[in-house]
Amino acid sequence: MHNILKTYKWFGAVLLAGAFVLGGAVLVVPAQGQGINIKIPKLSPVAIKGQIAFNRTCAKCHGLNATGSDKGPPLIHDIYNPGHHGDIAFYRAVKSGSPQHHWRFGNMPPQTSVTEEDVARIIRFIRETQEANGIFYRQHKM
C-alpha cells in the first residue's frame, strides 16, 4: 500500500509540473507548517526537473515546493536570497549537511542520495520561484 501511495504522489507531481508547462499558470501554494503562500511561476525545463527532484527528496523536511514544514525551514524566504545564501551554500548543505543557524529545526544532515546534477536543478527551481515571489539578490551585511 505504501508503494502505491508513493507512486500516486510521484505521478501527481509529474502531472502538476506538466500543467505548469502547458498552461503557464501561476499557482499559490499553501505552506505546510509555516503559514506562507508562494507563487509558482511558469518554470524553465531545468527548474521543472528541479521541482520534481525537490519534491521527491527535500520536501519531507522543507515542505512541498520549499514552503517549509514543522521539520525544516522554507527556502522560498528572503533569508535564502542569493546575496545571503549563494548557490554554493546549497551544494555544501546537500554534500556536508548544515548546522542549525537561522531556524530551530536542528542540524541538516548530508543528503547523500541527491546528485550534483539534481542539486543544480533544485537550485534553479528555488531561484526561479524566489524571483516570482519578490526574492532577489541583496548583498549580505553582517
pLDDT in tens, 23-35: 344 444 444 444 4
CB atoms within 10 A of CB 76: 27
Does 16 have pLDDT greater than 60?
no
Element (H, E) at 8: helix 2-23
Average pLDDT of the chain is: 83
What CATH number does domain 2-132 carry, 1.10.10, 1.10.760, 1.10.390, 2.40.160? 1.10.760
User: pTM of the prediction?
Assistant: 0.76
- Residue 48: per-residue pLDDT: 98
Q: How far, in Å, CA of 103 to CA of 120, rounded? A: 24
- Residue 58: per-residue pLDDT: 97
- Residue 10: per-residue pLDDT: 44
Quick one: 41 exposed, middle or buried, by C-beta within 10 A (0-12, 13-18, 19+)?
middle
